[in-house]
Structure 1
């Protein structure tokens, strides 16, 4: 089973295909927790038809493994990367991957998850996906590529994403590096914009205490008041990543 090929093929296609994304974070009392980043790539499976299964010899898969396992298959390729790129991949080794592929049902669900000790450890998962896809060489997604709208969301690209959770205040902060580059990316979308019109990016954060306030007025709350869900159009994030800046205040 060539897990690397399946993951890399899925990730590369992801950068040019409409998908539904979910970012889930579960916090414990001490600030530690678990992060899950997932997307439903069933549309990719349906569009690819028999091509993907013929290329990968994978018709069905329900498997959980770590990025470390994937990287162990590509140590020779990784050794040729710059020290900076190797360090990025090293940081991803604790992350686990769950992939569900069903050729019969034309389903492909992909989830990346990890435990963390502090919100400061959380990474921009688009950066993580890009780092893995870079192992495919010339086919990989490129940072700030005008033909690839996701490139603006990658760390080292045209936006930086960071998280913090201190004294009962959680912050998700996105900063655009270059406004002019962002305009170029937006202007170059063309017909691709239609492809992402119906795609959603959902944030769902779970806290150990009730939520007092959220900076986004469209936030939805769970019955116990400890979970907040906010849904954005993916095009909103592509054109203006800072729209997903967020501040959440918990009750004392």
Structure 2
């Protein structure tokens, strides 16, 4: 899973999420219906196009779901799935004119949850995550030329006590063991590129490029923090 942002001098840029899930085939993943011929997906679409065709279905969803889906409208999506080639990839990109356009951007997990409900996304149901596991996280970005900041906003009901979450885990459950195997193979990557040289990044273990205009951080999913707010950060630029 990769999150990438490119910021230009005038405040415009691009924001993207990439999900490369081809590795799950190595863990024995197969389509739910073995009697059907492997369906190959190779498509590019925008959520705006999907919404226009699915407006009746969207109108029947709860208000919070409609609000979440609306936030996806400006994203362009590329989806590829081919079980024979062990390929399962999903990329979405949003080109923005100003940093204000990124207020309350949806999280990657929320994107996965929404996809099976509408349009071509129904074919990508295997990418979805259970509703109860989704924190419904929002991202907010601030940039004034001197400092860039990413703030992660969690609703109150998402701030679950860590001990309670540990108690709910069942190490003897076959599904839990399978998920642990998958997480060992996965990583979350964050890459941000700026028009100015970076002085400091608040993220621990972030690697700043040689030209000091970008940084990258890779986190094994098994080490993904329980408190997602820890992935918020501040970048201070050189004068």
Match of 2:56 in 1: 76
- Consecutive unaligned residues of structure 1, counting only runs of 5 or more, are 1-20
Match of 1:97 in 2: 77
Q: How does 1:55-66 map to 2 (within 5 A)?
A: 58-59=39-40, 61-66=41-46
| 1:186–1:239 CA contact under 8 A, matched in 2 | no
User: Shift of residue 53 of structure 1?
Assistant: 8.4
Match of 2:164 in 1: 184
Task: Provide the rounded CA distance (Å) in 2 between the counterparts of 1:186 and 1:25.
Answer: 33
Match of 2:151 in 1: 173
User: Shift of residue 28 of structure 1?
Assistant: 0.6
Deviations 1:162-197 (A, max 9, x none): 222223211122255354455433442334362324
* CA root-mean-square deviation: 2.8
Task: Provide the rounded CA distance (Å) in 2 between the counterparts of 1:185 and 1:119.
Answer: 35
Question: Structure 1 residues 173 and 117, CA, compared in 2 at 3 Å: closer, same or farther?
Answer: same
User: Shift of residue 134 of structure 1?
Assistant: 4.7
Question: Structure 1 residues 198 and 75, CA, compared in 2 at 3 Å: closer, same or farther?
Answer: same
- Provide TM-score, normalisation by structure 2: 0.77
Task: Provide the rounded CA distance (Å) in 1 between the counterparts of 2:220 and 2:160.
Answer: 22
User: Is 1:241 matched with 2:221?
Assistant: no
Instruction: Give the 3-state SS of the residue equivalent to 2:114 in structure 1.
Output: helix
Task: Provide the rounded CA distance (Å) in 1 between the counterparts of 2:162 and 2:153.
Answer: 11
Match of 2:191 in 1: 204
Match of 2:112 in 1: 129
User: Shift of residue 204 of structure 1?
Assistant: 0.2
Instruction: Give the 3-state SS of the residue equivalent to 1:92 in structure 2.
Output: coil
Match of 1:215 in 2: 202
Question: Structure 1 residues 246 and 129, CA, compared in 2 at 3 Å: closer, same or farther?
Answer: same
| 2:141–2:150 CA contact under 8 A, matched in 1 | yes
Match of 1:227 in 2: 214
Question: Structure 1 residues 91 and 76, CA, compared in 2 at 3 Å: closer, same or farther?
Answer: same
Q: How does 1:32-71 map to 2 (within 5 A)?
A: 32-45=12-25, 47-49=28-30, 51=32, 58-59=39-40, 61-71=41-51
Task: Provide the rounded CA distance (Å) in 2 between the counterparts of 1:185 and 1:72.
Answer: 39
Moved more, 69-78 or 22-31: 69-78
User: Shift of residue 110 of structure 1?
Assistant: 0.9
Match of 1:194 in 2: 180
User: Is 1:86 matched with 2:46?
Assistant: no
| 1:186–1:238 CA contact under 8 A, matched in 2 | no
User: Shift of residue 23 of structure 1?
Assistant: 0.3
Match of 2:142 in 1: 164
- Provide TM-score, normalisation by structure 1: 0.73
Task: Provide the rounded CA distance (Å) in 1 between the counterparts of 2:110 and 2:30.
Answer: 28
Query: How many residues in Structure 1 have an aligned counterpart in Structure 2?
Result: 219
